[in-house]
Structure 1
Amino acid sequence: MKGYRKSNLLIYSLLTILTLMGPVSKPSAGESQPWGDPKNALIVDAYELNTIDWTAFLQDKRIAGFISKASDGLPESFSCTGDHGGDTVAHCRTMWRKYAVSRELFQTRRMLAKTNGLLWGAYHLGRPGNPIDQANHFLDYADPQPDELMVLDIDGMDATQFMSLDDAQIFVAHIKVRTGRYPMLYVNHNTARYIADHRGTYPLLSRLPLWYARYKPDVKGTFPLGNWDNYAIWQFVSSDNCSEKSCPYRVPGTLTDIDVNVVPMTKVQLAKIWPQGDLLPAKPLPAPDLTIALAPMCSGPRQTLVSLMPDVDPVVTASTPQTKPVEINELNYQDF
């Protein structure tokens, strides 16, 4: 009987602890290894040097979409004569052959993908240089159709290698002017957090649907991130975390250098929203911290700006000018 009482006491104690802790919060959709759920659609993205056996590739029925690299930075000069920016004529001609082959490969993959029922998208790799010229280069190269996804890829914050965030604002606004749609934004975690923390500075980038590159088994605690309540696409496989020995997901007909992405929805649901094109709702910016800490040698409570300026009336009346959110459109985007 003593053992029975001890057992009951232990159970009662555990139940009391669980009650005090409250209900256990459930993870948000797509937070932890969503690729493990066979209902979630997958997307492959590739560039010209990824080799694909399309017969094998098309056997994976979870693959819903294909996003291909299109343009890269500024368009090349058509002339291989003269100095050509210090390049040699031979190298210039080699690069143009590569460019011609890459563009034909882009068109071939597009035809194969769409003929076999895959959703199609294209991305521009942002580089230093005139962002409007780059936007026009992307549109000329990819010729995006209304049912196709457009993406701006910013691979890092180093403005000597990749497009600056200020230029990216201009790029996406020009895409909107020419197509009527905004592109999606592809960035890694660090860049996404920086944009979210400075969303007042980047009112367009911070509201684009997020293609999120992070090679971890979960993203718990990451979202909400600024205006992003969640990712639109999560790139969870690349050559960074896929090898012959271990890979989170292997796509038939591809090598370990292929990028694989997941969305927390079915193929049917994805198809309904695929082209994207709208900005996400803007969330209120954090209130500025108007609290001033007293010098270390002083004692007493911290004081606010209002308490330090007694002649200022802290009451806001209807006649007090107030700042209103600025609507960004095709006519004023260059002001931002």
Structure 2
Amino acid sequence: MRARNRFLAFLTGALLLVAPVPGIAADVEPWRNKDHAIVIDAYEMNEIDWPLLLTDKRIAGFISKASDGLPESFDCKGEHDGDTVAHCKTMWRKYAVSRELYETRRLLARAQGLLWGAYHLARPGNPVDQANHFLDYARPQPDEMMVLDIEAIDPKKFMSLEDAQIFAGHVRTRTGRYPVLYTNHSTAKYIAANRDKYRILSRLPLWYARYKPGIRKVFPLGNWDNYALWQFSAAANCNKRRCPYRVKGTFNDIDVNVVPMNRADLTKIWAFGDLLPEKPFETGEPPVDDIVTASVARAAAADEPKSLPVKAAAVSFAGLAASADATVTFVVRNGAPAVPDAAVAPEQIADGSEKTTPAAAPPHATP
């Protein structure tokens, strides 16, 4: 009898280890829950057998690498950051091929009913030129996700967080939508801890990269109560012997993501584009109702101020120097603009368009 009881106790414990436990399904291996949709992301060197990949009906979306840093030079005249002319031409050919591959994948994915997204790998350099490069490369449609990829806090290798805010604001200026932010835990934690400084980045929906079976006690993280996507499987933790999730028709280096919802719910919010609500600070400062970015063209003379309508108010740009383009970020509290936001001062940019649709919070991190 005692042996039987010990066996039953062992069996009960084993079942508890594998059975879903209410309240923790979202932070411990949620990809095992078949109700949670899967999203694939890939760069140009990932080999994909599309007929095989499409046999996995849990795959709801595909996010492709689009642009990488600043645009390549077509004519290869002048300076090329120390590169030779031959290397410049090689890089242009690679760019042309990757651009065609991007369009081909997009046609295939959308034709098969997959949600489509594109990401920009952010590098050092003018953030507005990079934002324009991304939008010209990806040509995102209103129902497609846009992603800003910040790999780490290393301004010598990747875009600085200050420039990333300008990038995000300029994307909003041109498209009326903010991008999703892709990053790892350490960078997300830093942004969350300094959200008073990064008022835009800390409110972008988070695509979270973490190659561990669980993220318990990670969220809430600043303004993030949860991830929008969780990149849980990649070459870093997937090999021939063991892999969190294998995708047919691909190799071990494919990136796999889970979302905390089913395919139908994901489709409703896929394009994202809005900022998350801002939580109050410990200092008691009230949360921001809205953040609006505007691009002011170089041609705007100091004696000819431009105005940006924010809800019922008009904000003057007369104080900006006529010799410099600028992106200005405004915060709105109680329906009234505060000019400008102290956290994001005027920065260098180059576009004269203005889009000022107010942002609202949505319902809820790529090499």
For normalisation by structure 2, the TM-score amounts to 0.73
Instruction: Tell me: CA distance 1:35–1:326, structure 2 relative to 1, closer, same or farther (3 Å).
Output: closer
Q: Which stretches in structure 1 are left out of the alignment for 5+ residues?
A: 1-24, 289-321
| Structure 2 equivalent of residue 205 of structure 1 | 201
Deviation for aligned residue 1:223: 0.5
Q: 1:78 aligned to 2:74?
A: yes
Q: Which stretches in structure 2 are left out of the alignment for 5+ residues?
A: 1-20, 295-327, 331-339, 345-367
Deviation for aligned residue 1:96: 0.9
Q: 1:329 aligned to 2:292?
A: yes
Higher helix share: 1
| Structure 2 equivalent of residue 229 of structure 1 | 225
Which letter maps to 1:33? E
Q: Is the 8 A contact 2:73 2:88 kept in 1?
A: no
| Structure 2 equivalent of residue 30 of structure 1 | 26
Q: 1:147 aligned to 2:143?
A: yes
- Give, in whole Å, the separation in 2 of the partners of 1:326 and 1:254: 44
Q: Is the 8 A contact 1:239 1:258 kept in 2?
A: yes
| Structure 2 equivalent of residue 136 of structure 1 | 132
Deviation for aligned residue 1:179: 0.3
1:214-225 matches, within 5 Å, as 214-225=210-221
Deviation for aligned residue 1:86: 2.2
| Structure 2 equivalent of residue 96 of structure 1 | 92
Deviation for aligned residue 1:323: 7.8
The structure with more radius of gyration? 1
Q: 1:58 aligned to 2:42?
A: no
Deviation for aligned residue 1:330: 2.3
Task: Tell me the secondary structure at the aligned position of residue 186 of structure 1.
Answer: strand
Q: Is the 8 A contact 1:146 1:275 kept in 2?
A: yes
- Give, in whole Å, the separation in 2 of the partners of 1:84 and 1:325: 42
Deviation for aligned residue 1:79: 2.2
Q: CA-to-partner distance for each residue in 1:232-258, whole Å, 9 max, x for gaps?
A: 000000100001111000000000000
- Give, in whole Å, the separation in 2 of the partners of 1:206 and 1:29: 25
How many residues are treated as equivalent by the alignment? 279
Deviation for aligned residue 1:285: 1.1
Instruction: Tell me: CA distance 1:247–1:329, structure 2 relative to 1, closer, same or farther (3 Å).
Output: same
Deviation for aligned residue 1:76: 1.4
- Give, in whole Å, the separation in 1 of the partners of 2:187 and 2:211: 15
- Give, in whole Å, the separation in 1 of the partners of 2:289 and 2:60: 38
Which letter maps to 1:242? C
Percent of aligned positions that are identical? 63
Q: Is the 8 A contact 1:29 1:264 kept in 2?
A: no
1:172-321 matches, within 5 Å, as 172-287=168-283
- Give, in whole Å, the separation in 2 of the partners of 1:269 and 1:230: 16
Task: Tell me the secondary structure at the aligned position of residue 293 of structure 2.
Answer: coil
Task: Tell me the secondary structure at the aligned position of residue 330 of structure 1.
Answer: strand
Q: Is the 8 A contact 1:66 1:113 kept in 2?
A: yes
Q: Is the 8 A contact 2:70 2:129 kept in 1?
A: yes
Task: Tell me the secondary structure at the aligned position of residue 333 of structure 1.
Answer: strand
Which letter maps to 2:239? S
- Give, in whole Å, the separation in 2 of the partners of 1:190 and 1:55: 37
- Give, in whole Å, the separation in 2 of the partners of 1:226 and 1:30: 18
Deviation for aligned residue 1:72: 0.4
Deviation for aligned residue 1:26: 4.8
Which letter maps to 2:100? E
Instruction: Tell me: CA distance 1:324–1:264, structure 2 relative to 1, closer, same or farther (3 Å).
Output: closer
- Give, in whole Å, the separation in 2 of the partners of 1:56 and 1:142: 26
Q: Is the 8 A contact 2:279 2:287 kept in 1?
A: no
Deviation for aligned residue 1:46: 0.1
Which letter maps to 1:285? F
Q: Is the 8 A contact 2:178 2:204 kept in 1?
A: yes
Deviation for aligned residue 1:324: 8.1
Q: CA RMSD in A?
A: 1.7
Q: CA-to-partner distance for each residue in 1:131-156, whole Å, 9 max, x for gaps?
A: 00000000000000001000000000
Higher strand share: 2
Q: CA-to-partner distance for each residue in 1:278-322, whole Å, 9 max, x for gaps?
A: 00000011238xxxxxxxxxxxxxxxxxxxxxxxxxxxxxxxxx9
